[in-house]
Structure 1
Amino acid sequence: MFGRRRKKQDEETGTTDAPRRSTTGEEVSFGNVVEPEKSSASADKESDRHRATGPWDVSEEPSEAKRMDLGSLRLPMEQGLQIQVNVARDDRGKQTIIGVTLVKGKSSLQVQPFAAPKSEGLWEDMRRELREQVAKQGGNSHEHDGTFGPELQAVVPVKGKKTEDGKQIAQRVRFIGVDGPRWVLRGVVRGEGAARPEAMGEIERLFADIVVVRGEQPSPPGELLQITVPKQLQEQMAAAQARAAHQAAQSGNAGRSPNGSAPGGPDGA
């Protein structure tokens, strides 16, 4: 069952639970479990009616579920769910985490937490920007009143993908989001979760079970909140990159490995 939201701060103690910044990783690892925190801080923005059953702020009482701690995000953990860290490289090759994607079956949900002002309206501004981006890409979009309030449903061309007769291939995408206390959580849904009603509910359930940790650090509105991964996962990601580079080197060597054996061994699998 979903948890209930606390409506006021504990006036007797005046205390709230401080957010913890432990981390975890790219593929789901059931070794790093975070029990839901319970606190007495309140979130009384009018838009909170759109998240009566989640997503949650760390100061609230989320559903009783085990979650993976990625700093500003605590993600639900369950069998069959893959969690992938999304990274981007700058001109110097430095990696920056820009989001996290949850993959369940033939659906994917990329989530990003952003800092927001105390006043309303950031998700509305984001939808307006997304509509402009979709139009520039040659797609079309419309607003829909969904589970979490207004969302944007779009059909977007897939770059470089055409049918045999030369027609542009497009995919359905849902942009969902919700304003929380000084944060906004944005989700991008692709696959069956954007097109098939029975899969939409599954993706919405995952989105609703996310906990956001805003933290007390000052951040300008619209800035991505820090997503962190543990050292163990960083090492796994580095190892995966090394394997990919090794495989590329093998492919460039006439399809054979340096010792003359056929490619596809432990390093090239």
Structure 2
Amino acid sequence: MGLFSRGKSKDRPDTDAVDTDAVDAEVLDAEVDDLSEERDDGDDIDGSAAGHGGRGTTGPFDRAEVDDDSDYLNLGAIWLRGQQGMELRLEINEQEQQITGVTAVVGESAVQLQAFAAPRTEGVWIDIRNEIAASIVDAGGTAEVLTGEFGEELLTRMPQAGPDGRTVFMPARFVGVDGPRWFLRAVVSGRAAIEPAAAEGVHEVIRTAVVDRGADAMPPRELLPLRLPDADGVAQAEQPGDDSRGDDLNPFERGPEITEVR
């Protein structure tokens, strides 16, 4: 794999992870309408229909389903397969010195991945999706359930003041996948959030990802630990005193970055 260089980043939403312009409200409304027409409508935010994230036969995969791991970068709970031009950023909680997520940047789009413990008998995506939607709506944004490649997902828009004083929206798509005793959350930002034609690169990151849940007993929604890879791409052991519990599903927290130069 490539070299890693450590860098600092300011506290800002993950929707700013890619250097793309915010979208004017009227333009974004039209693009979202087009996106909705291209996909089957999902249930209402508080619907009761089955909305578990879909894995199918194309992934993301559980560790037990992968025989050949030679093409993967092992980051602990999440393994990723590289692709041409992809850049990785490992997000770190400075206070706890804990890696809380990994973001893959592909062109003008990005996807943040985090893996969490989940119950053995049922998925958690429906509840988490509803909680994220309620939080965004309370903050003045919008949230809409759509059906995509990985099942029901959440298309969100967060209002911000543009440079000319007009309201602009930062779009993001929340994708959730329920696996065996784990849950993988992906937050898609940049052009791929609203343009299906631009989403293939980040969707490939999601569908080829591998989650290594481990055998330890963990409460539902506890963040599965990520680790820095060594020179061979194998995750380093966690240092004594590290706490694997992260902030509970906070999609907008960033820390310093470690960038893979490919």
Contact map agreement 1:56 1:62 (CA 8 A) in 2: no
Percent of aligned pairs sharing the same letter: 35
CA displacement, residues 55-114 of structure 1 (integer Å, 9 cap, x when unaligned): 00010147887110001111111220011101123xxx3322110000000000000000
TM-score (norm 2): 0.65
CA shift for structure 1 position 175 = 0.1
Name the CA distance, whole Å, in 2 between partners of 1:64 and 1:219. Answer: 25
Q: Distance in 2 between matches of 1:102 and 1:74?
A: 12
Give the distance between the partners of 1:217 and 1:50, measured in 2 at CA: 23
Aligned counterpart, 1:209: 208
Report the Cα distance in structure 1 between the residues aligned to 2:53 and 2:141, rounded to whole angstroms. 31
Within a 5 Å distance, the mapping from 1:247-266 to structure 2 comes to: none
User: What is the correspondence of 1:1-269 to structure 2 with a 5 Å cutoff?
Assistant: 50-61=55-66, 66-89=71-94, 93-158=95-160, 161-164=161-164, 166-230=165-229
Q: Aligned with 1:59: secondary structure? A: helix
Structure 1 residue matching 2:64: 3-state secondary structure:
coil
Cα distance in 2 for residues equivalent to 1:128 and 1:25: 39
State the shift of 1:136 in Å. Answer: 2.0
Stretches of structure 2 that go unaligned for 5 or more consecutive residues are 6-50, 236-255, 257-262
Segments of 5+ residues of structure 1 without an aligned counterpart are 1-23, 28-45, 235-240, 242-269
> For the Cα contact (< 8 Å) 1:51–1:178, is it kept in 2?
no
Q: Which has the higher contact order (CA 8 A, sep 6+)?
A: 2
Q: Secondary structure at the match of 1:202?
A: helix
Shift in alpha-carbon separation, 1:219–1:25, aligned structure 2, 3 A: farther
Distance 1:182 1:25 in 2: 33
TM-score, normalised via structure 1 length: 0.64
Query: CA RMSD, aligned part only?
Result: 2.8
Q: Point out the structure with max Rg over C-alpha.
A: 1
Change (3 A) 1:179 1:208: same
Aligned residues: 189
